[in-house]
Amino acid sequence: MITRYALFEGKVKEGQTEAFRQAVIERILPKWKAFPHATDVRISFAEARDDGAPELPMILAINYPSLAAVDEALASPVRAEARAATEAVLAEFFDGRIHHHVTLANEYAL
């Protein structure tokens, strides 16, 4: 199994936390769940960070069965729709950036 993470680093605009969460759930999450081969899609909202640490108000994690499945998902037209929905929500509610990370930590044979 492969997990691809999108780390949302930055701050939700003042007074917009609940609206941001609702927009993520209604406008972003369904688009990422439509990715080919996505076996699990999860969103975690962070409540607080240590002083001096980068703020990570949200983590999006998607599990795939293999690296080939990740490549196929990223090449899919669905990606453009998910990206557009994400960028629209970020422009409305968020000051920051997204950092993507792919981990192979779960890919091993016993």
Q: Take residue 28 and report the two structure tokens written for it.
A: 């972003």
Q: Take residue 94 and report the two structure tokens written for it.
A: 């968020």
Q: State the pTM of this model.
A: 0.78
In order, the DSSP letters of the chain are -EEEEEEEEEEEPTT-HHHHHHHIIIIIHHHHHTSTT--EEEEEE-----TTSPP--EEEEEEESSHHHHHHHHHSHHHHHHHHHHHHHHHHHEEEEEEEEEE-TT----
User: What is the pLDDT confidence band of residue 50, given thresholds at 50, 70 and 90?
Assistant: low
Q: Check residue 110 and give its pLDDT.
A: 41
pLDDT tens by residue, 58-97: 888 999 998 899 889 989 999 999 999 999 999 999 888 8
* Candidate from 51-55, 72-76, 99-103 with smallest mean pLDDT: 51-55
Q: Check residue 99 and give its pLDDT.
A: 79
CA-CA distances (angstroms) from residue 31 to 55, 85, 87, 108? Answer: 24, 8, 12, 29
pLDDT tens by residue, 32-48: 999 999 999 999 887 66
